[in-house]
Amino acid sequence: MNNSSSTTDGLCGYANFTPVSEDMILAILHTSSAGISFISSVLVIILIILFKKYSFFVQRLILYLSFSVLLYSIASALAVTNYTGDEKVFPDNFCEAIGFVTQYTQWTLLLSVAVITIDILLRVILNRATNSIEILYLIFIYVFPATFNWAPFLQGLYGPAGSWCWIRSYTLNESGDCVKNETGLIYQFSLWYGPLFVVLVLISVSYIIILSTLKRYKQRMNIYNHDEMELLKKMKREVFILMWYPIIFALINLIPLANRIIHACLEHEKRIYVLWVLHAFVSPLQGAFVVIVYALDPETRRKLTVVGVRGALSQHCSCFNGHRGIVREYKAEVLKSEGGPEARRPLLKDK
């Protein structure tokens, strides 16, 4: 697609069928939610670093998730539509670039959640520590999405997509009418909403397996010795620390998924505005929910006191060593298998 057609197509989208004021409301909601998410994800990262929780593998998985949310929040804040009415706000290539960044960062977020789910499954089903494959997790999260999300550039499909920049879903036909871009819709669903739906289904199936397996372990717990019972309890604590993050991600993304499916089936001039309001507000708000879940961890809440923060700061900077209130060392509930010989023997055995 050449530059002139790109410019013209940029003026063709949902904003053409609704008042500019309504489109601006969506842009403001989208950017505001992204700002809240950015602050929240930064807060989680600071807490993990402050209390040195990054020393533990489970906490590093949360750190990777928070970093992915941080990247997505930045992209979402910048991804407001390239146009207000018939006037360009930014150059076309800016919206195209931000559309790609949005696509890449939301994939890092999706794969961060997938990795957490995979890790829980491995711990529960195989009874093994998983920190040995951490580098594979990182490659999967941050390298894999870059191998295919460049594809829409081949069709010139990154650009204005409603009230923010993403994969174009509308274009001008030869008569100058604004119509759905079928190729853009195919890319939207093949590169995002299709994989998103598959991951949400797999998360649901995985949780059924995880919960049923833990229930079976609990029912049989009394036939094992004390050490194995303690390992099981620690595994369950660790699993439950992580389990809420995929659940929250799935609930948040049900709204954008439903919105895009519904509007893909509607005529191009029709728009259910309330769905777009929910989409614009909820979709970028990932970080806020992450920080809420993180703050619900009893260990984190115990440390969020003046004494606890001072004690943690004193471990990073000598200027705080004068304070007497020193927080106790972080006592994460982790499996002894993370570094111990127990990692090489099954937690539970069938008899």
Q: Which residues of 49-80 are buried (b: 16+ CB within 10 A; e: fewer)?
A: eebebeebbbbbbbbbbbbbbbbbbbbbbbbb
Whole-structure pTM value: 0.81
**Is the pLDDT higher at 346 or at 235?**
235
* 348 band by pLDDT with thresholds 50, 70 and 90: very low
Are the C-beta atoms of 65 and 289 separated by less than 8 Å? no
Q: What digits encode the pLDDT tens for the residues 33-78?
A: 999 999 999 999 999 999 889 999 999 999 999 999 999 999 999 8
Question: Average pLDDT over the chain, rounded to whole?
Answer: 79
SS3 91: coil
pLDDT of residue 334: 38
Instruction: Please choose, from the candidates 25, 158, 39, 59, the residue with its C-alpha nearest in 3D space to the C-alpha of residue 103.
Output: 158
Task: Please state the CATH superfamily assignment of the domain spanning residues 20-316 in this structure.
Answer: Rhodopsin 7-helix transmembrane proteins (1.20.1070.10)
Between CA 196 and CA 206, with CA 202 as vertex, the angle to 5 degrees is 145
Are the C-beta atoms of 263 and 215 separated by less than 8 Å? no
Domain range list for the chain: 20-316
Q: What digits encode the pLDDT tens for the residues 103-140?
A: 999 999 999 999 999 999 988 887 777 889 999 999 99
pLDDT of residue 319: 61
Instruction: Please choose, from the candidates 166, 117, 152, the residue with its C-alpha nearest in 3D space to the C-alpha of residue 283.
Output: 166
Query: In this model, does residue 206 exceed pLDDT 60?
Result: yes
pLDDT of residue 6: 44
pLDDT of residue 69: 96
